C-alpha cells in the first residue's frame, strides 16, 4: 500500500527535526508512548528497562490531546482556495539529573532540563536561519517540509511537566504544530 500524503508529511517533519536537532535527542519516533505508560514502565517490577526509549526522546503525536489530533477543512470557492490544516503535537521527554537513581531526581528549580530541548525544536521549525541549507526547504521564510506542505509552524498552547512531581524525575513538554496542506 502506498504511503498517504499525511504519512509523507509526518515522515518529512520527523526527518527535518532529526536533521536540525541531531544528537540533542537520543531517540526519535512517530510511535508515541504516553507519559503515564512510560512512568509505569519504570516502576513495573516485571518491566524490562532495556525497552525504555533513550533520553531525551522526541515523539511526533498524531492523536487527540496535547493540542493536536485535529484536522480542519475550509472549503474553497471562487477566488478562495480550499485549505486543510493538520494540528499535531511534538512531545519531548527527559529525566531530570539523578532521575532513575536511588538518590532520586535533582531538586533544581523548574523545567531546566527541558529548555534546551524546546529551543532545539523551535530552531528546527523556525524557517529564517535554515532556509538555504542544502537538502532542506528552499522557500525563503517558509518551512514547507521539502515542498509537501504550504507551511509548517508552531502555534498554540504547550504543556510542561517539569519532572519535579514524578519520583523518577520524568519531565515532559508538548509543542503544538500546525501544518497547512496545499
For the chain, what is the mean pLDDT?
80
The pLDDT of 72-79, averaged and rounded, is 87
What pLDDT score does 15 carry?
94
Give me 110's grid cell: 523548574
Q: Looking at mean pLDDT, say which of 24-33, 83-92, 95-104 comes out highest.
A: 83-92
Percent of the chain exceeding pLDDT 70 equals: 74
Q: Is the pLDDT of residue 134 over 50?
A: no
Kindly report the pTM of this predicted structure. Answer: 0.81
- pLDDT tens-digit map of 6-60: 999 999 999 999 999 999 998 899 988 887 777 666 555 555 554 556 788 999 9
Distance in angstroms between the alpha carbons of the first and the last residue of the chain: 23
Confidence band, pLDDT 50/70/90 cuts, at residue 136:
very low
Residue 138: pLDDT band (50, 70, 90) is: very low
What is the grid cell recorded at 176? 503544538
Asked if the 5-181 domain carries CATH number 3.30.2000.10, the reply is yes
DSSP letter at 167 equals T
Q: Where are the domains of the chain?
A: 5-181
User: What is the chain's alpha carbon radius of gyration, rounded to the nearest angstrom?
Assistant: 18
- What percent of the chain stands above pLDDT 90? 43
Reply yes or no on whether the pLDDT at 168 is more than 90.
no
3-state SS, one letter per residue, for the chain: CCCCHHHHHHHHHHHHHHHHHHHHCCEEECCCCCHHHHHHHHHCCCCCHHHCCCCCEEEEECCCECCECEEEEECCECCECCEEEEEEEEEEEEECCCCCCCCCCCCCCCCCCCHHHHHHHHHHHCCHHHCCCCCCCCCCCCCCCCCCCCEEEECCCCCEECCCCCCCCEEEEEEEEEEEEC
pLDDT in tens, 106-121: 666 667 889 999 999 9
Cell reading at 68 = 493536536
Residue with more model confidence, 143 or 88:
88
Amino acid at each position: 500500500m502506498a504511503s498517504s500524503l499525511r504519512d509523507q508529511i509526518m515522515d518529512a517533519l520527523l526527518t527535518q527535526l532529526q536533521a536540525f536537532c541531531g544528537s540533542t535527542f537520543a531517540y526519535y519516533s512517530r510511535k508515541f508512548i504516553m507519559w503515564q505508560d512510560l512512568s509505569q514502565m519504570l516502576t513495573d517490577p516485571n518491566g524490562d528497562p532495556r525497552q525504555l526509549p533513550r533520553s531525551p526522546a522526541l515523539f511526533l503525536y498524531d492523536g487527540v490531546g496535547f493540542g493536536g489530533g485535529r484536522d480542519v477543512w475550509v472549503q474553497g470557492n471562487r477566488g478562495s482556495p480550499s485549505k486543510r490544516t493538520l494540528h499535531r503535537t511534538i512531545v519531548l521527554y527527559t529525566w531530570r539529573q539523578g532521575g532513575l537513581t536511588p538518590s532520586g531526581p535533582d531538586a533544581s528549580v523548574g523545567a531546566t532540563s527541558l529548555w534546551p530541548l524546546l529551543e532545539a525544536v523551535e530552531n528546527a521549525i523556525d524557517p529564517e536561519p535554515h532556509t538555504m541549507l542544502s537538502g532542506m526547504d528552499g522557500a525563503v521564510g517558509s518551512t514547507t517540509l521539502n515542498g509537501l506542505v504550504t507551511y509548517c509552524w508552531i502555534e498554540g498552547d504547550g504543556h510542561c511537566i517539569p519532572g519535579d512531581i514524578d519520583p523518577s524525575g520524568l519531565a515532559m513538554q508538548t509543542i503544538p504544530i500546525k501544518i497547512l496542506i496545499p
